[in-house]
Structure 1
Amino acid sequence: MNMNGQMELMPRLVTMTNGTTSSLPSYDGYVHAELSNQPISYHISRCYPGTLSEAECQRFALASCRIACMSMDVIRGRIPPRKLQRVLNASCLRRLETMAYLLENHLRTHQELKARLSYLPAMPTLVYGTLVSLDTTEIVVNLMVGKDSYWVNLVLKRVGSRWICTTADLG
């Protein structure tokens, strides 16, 4: 970001497999989420020709934060999985439901972990994303639950005019 708060295109040098270097354009900025009292920084790069607008980058960052927080809430048993069925495909939703079931059983015998994980809200702190093609984006979101840090890896694929999450890996 420049001094006026505007997003800038920041080329980064990357060493390719053949030993040459190339610059990948990246977009850096900040978004504000509902529960977060601090702005969430994002860094989005792309691996294909084309451009992104500041608004598109902010939409990717905010949507990723929302999906990551809601996925964390699903596995913690705070919201029903059906709340995500418009943005997650069926396979991804089933895997989250399975993880929620396994975590619920694990937390029955680990009360200290349950206290740390179950009650505080998930707060996004940063977003890193790569648009690997016109139809696929891979994003990682850092979430804080209390003092504990969790990373959420997301893969979003374009289906028609919508972006659908096909992978949500939390850990």
Structure 2
Amino acid sequence: MKLEEAFYIGYITRTRGLKGEMQLFFEFEDYLDLQLDVLFLEMNKKLVPYFIDAVKLHNNSTAYISFEDVDHIDKAQPLLKKKVYLPLEKMPVRDPDDFRYSDLIGYIVVDQTEGELGEITNVQELPQQFIATVNVDGKELMFPLSDDLIIGVDADEHVIEVKLPDGLVALYREG
């Protein structure tokens, strides 16, 4: 399988015990909906299949997994920090009405005062709020995705209109 035929779900973080069990950290938001029977690990820019013997999902974006033929810590060690993929046909289907802040990546930000600022390159979830990152003149401008600042979202045109606090954009442009 090629990388273009798969989607990224996370990476192996550490081993657990001596019998080859490993911790998988999910960076895929809907990890509880994934069908985990075979995982593909990226090794030397190729995807290598590993068949799952056992999996224990946790609510903190992790799982403990055991692969067939990986029955000792020495066999698990080379798999640490490897990126993990699944075939595209196993990607869970989301309800079209299920819009998330992470869906805003790639949207163009237009401020009421400053005009077009740029494209959202990242959305982070912090304890109190979500933060969007926009590349403005080579600098990363960050702002909270709050109802107070968002005026409108045009899903068809991939545009989000905002009213950022006075001076925020100027602060990034000067700094």
> TM-score w.r.t. structure 2 length?
0.29
Q: Larger Cα Rg: Structure 1 or Structure 2?
A: 2
Structure with the larger strand share:
2
> TM-score w.r.t. structure 1 length?
0.30
Structure with the larger helix share:
1
